[in-house]
Structure formats: C-alpha cells, structure tokens
Amino acid sequence: MALNRKIAYIDLTTGEIRKELIPLKVRDLYLGGRGLDMYLLYNHTEPGIDPLGPENVLLISAGILVGTLASASARTHIGGKSPLTGFVGSANMGGFFAPELRFAGFDHLVIKGRASQPVYLWIHNDEIEIREAAHLWGEGVWETQEVVKQELKDEEVQVLTIGQAGEKLVRFANVMTGHKNAGGRSGMGAIMGSKNLKAVAVRGTMDIKIKEPEQAMEYNEKVINKLLETKFAKIMQRWGTMFIYGVTNSTGLIRVKNFTDTQLPNSESIECENIDKSSIGTSGCFGCQIHCRHRYIIREGQYAGTFAEGPEYTSQGAFGAEPGCRNFNTILSGNYLVNYYGLDTLETGSLIAWAMELYERGILTDKDTDGLKLNFGNDDAVLEMVHRIGKREGLGNILAEGPLRASKKIGKDAAKYCIQVKGMSNLHSDERMTPALALGIATGSRGSDHLRSRPAIDLYHLPEEVLREIYGHPTPYNGILTSDYTDYEGKPRMVQWQEMLYEAIDCLGICKFHTIFLGVNMLGFEEFSKLLEYNTGIKKTPIEIWEIADRAYTMERLFNIREGLTRKDDWLVDRYFDEPTPSGLDIVRGKKLDRKKFKKMIDEYYELHSWDENGIPTPEILKKLGINKEPSHLL
C-alpha cells in the first residue's frame, strides 16, 4: 500500500545499511517528501557542521502521493545543510526517479558519511547495494546514466546523478536525473560529490496499493479535466514556462544586465516562439498530462546537432536578459551546458551577469578574467564562463564558491552589486515594484527563492473577492487584500499562504504547476485533502494539511536559527531600496522599495507565523505544532 514504503539509513563510511518502516505517527505529523526531510535534517545533523563534511546528510525522498493515481505525482526532494548558504538545503525535481524509488520499496534515504572512493547506490525491490563507481567519476550527467543502465542491463532503471560540477564541489551544483530534471537550488550536488557518491540507481516492480482505487480514478479524472481546461495549461503545453518572458519583459519586471535595467529592448529573438526552430516535440514527467518541456536540437554554433530538453524561463534570464544577450542559440546552448555539468542554471547565470557588471565597472579586469571580455551582450563569454565554473577554472573557480564567498575573494565593492539573499542568487526577476514578491525572496527559508513562497498571481490584478476566496481559506483571514501589486498592504498573508501551499505540495510530491502558483483555477488545499484520502486512506481536512505544512516550515526555521540565522538575514541588498527602476510601464517605472514599509511587512509576516519580533517561533506555536521538544528522534 502507499504507506508501507520504508526509510533507509546508509552510512557510506562504514557500508552499514539499515531499513525501517515509517511509523504512522510520523506520517501524521509530516506526511512525507520535503516535510519529513526537514524533520530528518534537524534530527540527524549537529549544529555548526561543515556542509561538505561527512557529518552532513544527503536526504532523498518521494512525496506521499508519488506513484499513485494523483496527477503529476512525480516529485523527488533532495535535502541537506546547504554548502551555498549554510542554512536549509532543499531542492525539488520532476521526472521518473521518485516513482521508481517508491516502486522499489522506499520513500526516504538518509545518506551519511563519506565513501573512501567513488561509489553509486543500486536500489531494487527492497534491496540496497553500494557499488564501485571510479569508472564513472569525471563523466557527464547523461553518460553516467547510460553507463549505469548498461551495467544493470535494464533501460527502465532511473538514475539520479551529479556531473563534474558536483564532483568538484561547486557550491551550487545540481542533482540531475533524465535530460533536464534538476534538483537545482542550494547545492545538493556538492553534498553528493563530497560523499564520493556519483549516482543513485533505482528499479522497482513493487505495486503501490491504492486505498480507494475507483474513487481515486474518478476524482483524478475530474482534476485532470479541470486542469486541462485552463488557459494556463494550454499555454504550458505549447511553450512551457518560456511564455512568461514576453509578459514580464514588456512590463518591465525583469533583471537586465544584472540589476541595471528592467527591460531588454529588441529581444523578440529570445521569446518563446523561437523554440519552434529547434523543437522536436514535448515530453512530461510521470503521471502528467501537460507535457511542458520541449525536446530540442541545437541547430547552429559549436554545439550544433546536440540534443537537450527545455529551456525554462529561468534559462531565458540566465543566458539572455541578465547578461544582456539576444541570441536564442545562446539560451539553448547555455541550458545544455548547465545540465551537462550539473549546475544550477539560475545561480550560474546570475553570477555571470554579476561578474559582467563588475567587469564593466572595472572591479574585475582582463587579468582577473584571463583576457576574456566579460562585457554585457558577449554571448561567447557567457558560454565560456559556464565551462569555467563547471570545471572550476580561473574566475570560474571563484564564482563556483557562490555569491558571498566570491564577493570576499574579489573584494572592493563587489558585494554591493551582487543580487542575493542569504548567499543565494535571485531569479532574473526584479521585485522593486512588487512588495509581495520582494517579501517572499527576503524571507525564503533556503535563500532568494521563487518556488517557496511566491504569490505570482498577485501580478494578475485579481478582484478582491477572488483574492479573499483564495487567501481566506483554509485558515481564516480578515485583513486587507489588494489587487494592486505595487501595494504593501495584505501582502504578508499572500506570502505566508503560498508558503503553506508549496510546503504541502512538496510533502505530497505533486507538481506546483498543477496548483495555485501561476494559475488561479488550479489545485488547492481542498483538492489535496481528497487526493490524500482516496489514494492513501489518510484523512486530513484542509486545515490539518495546512497545520502539517506549518509544522514542516517551522522546522526549517528552527534549523536555520540553530545555524545562526537572525532577522537581518530576512532582508534584501541595498540596491532594492536605493536605486529606482529605470524602465517599464508607468506602473513599475521609477520604483524602489521603502525600507520602513518593508520592515512593517516583515513584522506582520512574523506575526502571522506566530514568531516573535526577531523571527523566532514562540514557545506557544512550537507547543501547538508539537515540536517543542526537538530533536525528538522519532526516526
């Protein structure tokens, strides 16, 4: 059944492997996926450990609905202490790995220690082996997957792996599976590399018994029909997330040339329609009907003939708007390269754009770049820097350390121009004119973030009654809500609500694109309750699912506080408050954040969470959530 999957503890130092069933009490508290991983992170690490030391854990998990009849139930969660920020490390990806992990009998892997030589894990139908992987070390992401499948003589094996970036401990290295599924934020690939763990291969044929199969099938059909009727789903099926670029650029909501502009004029050449010249069709993840990713072949340049998947909106920013490039082939090639090396596309592009601004300001010189002309708009330089970061060569070796460490190494005024929160670079969006989105990136538990708390629908100018229908449930909210996305009032509730929604989604293991993220008519807490009951038999009301999400998110906060987080870390760099936006429509041009109003938003946000004025959860909320005696070591 859906609840009889196990947790495995794997010590790479000693080779010891221990397997246990997950108690229903723990399921009741955290369900699975990210929520349970955050509990495990707090309980299986000591304060102050080196993220790249053997004391850190690598957590790999599937949400509780993964592999069931729930639509888009495919998400894999990766956790650990972040080598990039020193706080919560957490990444989430689609594909087929997590369902295969469940079919093999496991929901959670807790990987400790460090192997004396490169290894990979082979997991199959309740069995786990540690295998030698010296022959895989140095191989790219796709080569590794193919070699492992050939060794195991099964093309259905799903492989989670790192590329050269993870091996070289680039602090924002990805964990990858398939051609483009990336556990991309916070450097989980570097943890794998630090443990000499090249890959995890899984194959399972163990059935997952659905509690109420007829009701589950009937309800899921209803859900799918609802999703596919939305305009959002139709656009995603055609363009994927790339459709966002045209809207945000024309409005003036993006970062261009690092942080010096908010529109990239004459950039129709990098909008979504250009994928038609290279696309050979679309594909999707396990159990998904939307199929939002393009499969493409690069048609020109040094990578002509190369197959890849994507790109996403983030790559349009990373290799287009942020470095000021207008060549769609640069986006396709950059997307291919970061996936080959196993690099976070967002972090890579942001750091390159930052280095370009430093170069144009004279903070970096030709000596620092080994003669590479890091001017904005230099397509060749952008791609060359991806290689240098992935291989840790020259300036790339400095950037591979991430924003804060790189700023210290470069010195001068480098830190002033770096757009980051908690040591993690921001998406290529500009939030000076959108206080809700700004609050979300400032307070995100893993650093600057667009996938943990972003109320993207605030940009839609929705009527107040629609906003109240969304943000007034499942817990009551009677405060102000406004459809003006430049306003500060009511936005803390939006951020808190989206935090709880996204935490719940990551516990369940379904895709955010099926939920209230970029579309208002998608799934919410009511639907989560029914999907959970019909597929697993666990009966939770929408409010109870909210409470589970609140418990898990508060655990993330407790971990960060234990690792030194204070209120000052929930803040933005000065450029957000000091430099007005230069471009865009009238509603966004000339905007900058107001420090006093922003501080008030954070105060309200803390109050909504029942945290004190310093952002520390109160004893009352810890007791209410049942986490006042952590670490409790239930698992």
Q: Which residue has the tokens 């890579």?
A: 348
Per-residue pLDDT band at 13 (split at 50, 70, 90):
very high
Q: Percentage of residues in the chain with pLDDT exceeding 70?
A: 100
- When pLDDT is averaged across residues 256-267 and rounded to a whole number, the result is 97
- Compute the distance between CA of residue 139 and CA of residue 526 in angstroms, rounded to an integer: 45
Burial 137-161 (b: 16+ CB within 10 A, else e): bebbbbebbebbbebbeeeebbbbb
Number of helices followed by number of strands (H, E) in the chain: 23, 17
State pTM to two decimals: 0.97
- Tell me the C-alpha distance between 9 and 24, whole Å: 18
Q: What is the pLDDT confidence band of residue 3, given thresholds at 50, 70 and 90?
A: confident
Q: Is the pLDDT of residue 154 over 70?
A: yes
Residue ranges and CATH numbers for the domains of the chain are 6-203 (3.60.9.10), 241-425 (1.10.569.10), 435-625 (1.10.599.10)
On the question of pLDDT at 348 being above 80, the answer is: yes
CA 51 to chain centre: 18
Task: Report the interhelical angle of 328-341 vs 379-391 (nearest 10°).
Answer: 0
Per residue, the 3-state secondary structure of 291-352, as one string, reads CCEEEEECCCCCCCCCEEECCCHHHHHHHHHCCCCCCHHHHHHHHHHHHHHCECHHHHHHHH
Q: Is 209 exposed, middle or buried (0-12, 13-18, 19+ CB in 10 A)?
A: middle
Compute the mean pLDDT over every residue in the chain, rounded to the nearest whole number: 97
At a CB cut-off of 8 Å and minimum separation 6, what does 592 contact?
432, 576, 577, 578, 579, 580, 581
Between the two ends of the chain, the Cα-to-Cα distance in Å is 20
Q: Are 113 and 104 a contacting pair, CB within 8 Å?
A: no
Question: Residues 405-430, buried b or exposed e (16+ Cβ, 10 A)?
Answer: ebbeebeeebeebbbbbbbbbbbbbb
Summarised one tens digit per residue, pLDDT across range 180-232 is 999 999 999 999 999 999 999 999 999 999 999 999 999 999 999 999 999 99
Beta-sheet pairing, 158-161 with 197-203: antiparallel
Please, are residues 498 and 477 in contact by the beta-carbon 8 Å criterion? no
Assign 294 a pLDDT band (cuts: 50, 70, 90): very high
Q: Measured between alpha carbons, how far is 558 from 552 in angstroms, rounded to an integer?
A: 10
Q: What is the per-residue pLDDT for 270?
A: 97
d(CA 338, CA 318): 11
Give the tens place of pLDDT for each residue, 581-592. 999 999 999 999
Amino acid at 119: V
The whole-number pLDDT of residue 116 equals 98
> Does pLDDT of 1 surpass 90?
no
What's the confidence (pLDDT) of residue 487?
Answer: 97
For 161-187, the pLDDT digits (tens) are 999 999 999 999 999 999 999 999 999
Question: In Å, how far from its chain's centre is CA 344?
Answer: 9
Average pLDDT over residues 271-292: 95
Say whether pLDDT at 100 is over 60.
yes
pLDDT at residue 424 greater than cutoff 90: yes
Average pLDDT over residues 148-170: 98
Tens-digit pLDDT profile for residues 304-331: 999 999 999 999 999 999 999 999 999 9
Model pLDDT, residue 388: 98
pLDDT of 521 above 60 = yes
Calpha distance 458→455 (Å, rounded): 6
Q: What is the pLDDT of residues 58-69, one digit of tens each?
A: 999 999 999 999
Pairing relationship of beta strands 279-283 and 119-124 according to DSSP bridges: unpaired
CA 597 to the chain's CA centroid: 28
Tell me phi and psi for residue 535, to 5 degrees: -90, -35
